[in-house]
Structure 1
Amino acid sequence: MPFIRVSYMEQHYGEVQLKHISQVIMKALVDHFNVPEDDCFQAFHAHKKEEFYYHPHYLNVQRSDGLIFIHITCKSGRSIRQKTGLYQQLAQQLSIEVPMRQEDVFIVINENEFADWSFGNGIAQMISVSEEVSE
């Protein structure tokens, strides 16, 4: 059930590269977060150069204009090992599949709970009726 937002500088990645980015992200989520293969919800956002700011070497990572921000919103409960495995797989596979520099893969995870999701129809599909009534 993760929701993924990918931000990048416009005209830096083409349609084929964006498709590869999407596929690599989905594969890493399946491998490390045990996400079902059909649980794919992703939005890509291209930004003009004047809308996209980053420090080129914060924490001794040398970034370029090929930088992408991958923002993952998901249910809480993943271990540090799962998260770090996800980070490693994303950086490695994106460098191969897109290709792009591993230094340009910036990832942030925001966690929430089942009640924070509605997949449509105004229903919180991930919580049971008994949980709704008890609160």
Structure 2
Amino acid sequence: MPLLRIDLYEGRTDAELKVLLDAIHRSMLAAFGVPERDRYQIVHQHPVADMIMEDTGLGIPRTGKFVCIQVTTRPRTKEMKETFYRLLVEELERACGIAPTDVMVNMVTCEDEDWSFGLGRAQFLTGEL
């Protein structure tokens, strides 16, 4: 936890996806201070016709390298989120050549009772986490 859903246009190789996911994880570690093995990432690759990602009228150009990341997480401070956004675009540009204009992030906040990591228990509530 956090749980990340990464949507992008199809066509990246397994090696490119690994670099991308590692860069995202480094940003998450630095911004949120989560443990190294706290890694939950799901990738969805879409045909170009199945994903329309515009810029809400902000004049932000998009390319075929566009990445949309939805982060489902416990509550985080405004500063932590802003740090994540900044580190994320820096890491993706450095490691993957993805321009900051091609990165969109959506945060979804859940409370501790909204998580079960298995065994039919809410580990944040039971004290296991």
TM-score by structure 1 length? Answer: 0.88
CA RMSD of aligned residues (A): 1.4
Structure with the greater alpha carbon radius of gyration: 1
Distance of 1:83 and 1:17 partners within structure 2: 25
What is the CA deviation profile of residues 26-73 of structure 1, one whole-angstrom value per residue up to 9, with x for unaligned ones?
111111111111100110000111211111573121111211101100
Q: Which residue of 1 aligns with 2:17?
A: 18
Counterpart of 2:87?
A: 89
Residue aligning to 2:74 = 75
Question: Where do 1:1-135 residues align within 5 Å?
Answer: 1-11=1-11, 13-55=12-54, 58-76=57-75, 78-128=76-126
Deviation for aligned residue 1:82? 1.1
Contact 1:64-1:104 within 8 A present in 2 as well: yes
Matched to 1:101, the amino acid is: A
The percentage of counterpart residues that share the same residue type is 28
* Aligned equivalents of 2:97, 2:56: Cα separation in 1: 21
Quick one: which amino acid aligns to residue 108 of structure 1?
Answer: N
Aligned residues: 127
Secondary structure in structure 2 of the residue aligned to 1:43:
strand
SS of the counterpart of 1:82? helix
Structure 2 residue runs of 5 or longer lacking an equivalent are none
CA contact 1:57–1:63 (8 Å) conserved in 2: no
Deviations 1:75-98 (A, max 9, x none): 01x221111111011101101101
Q: Tell me, what secondary structure is at the counterpart of 1:81?
A: helix
User: Which amino acid letter does the alignment assign opposite residue 61 of structure 2?
Assistant: Q
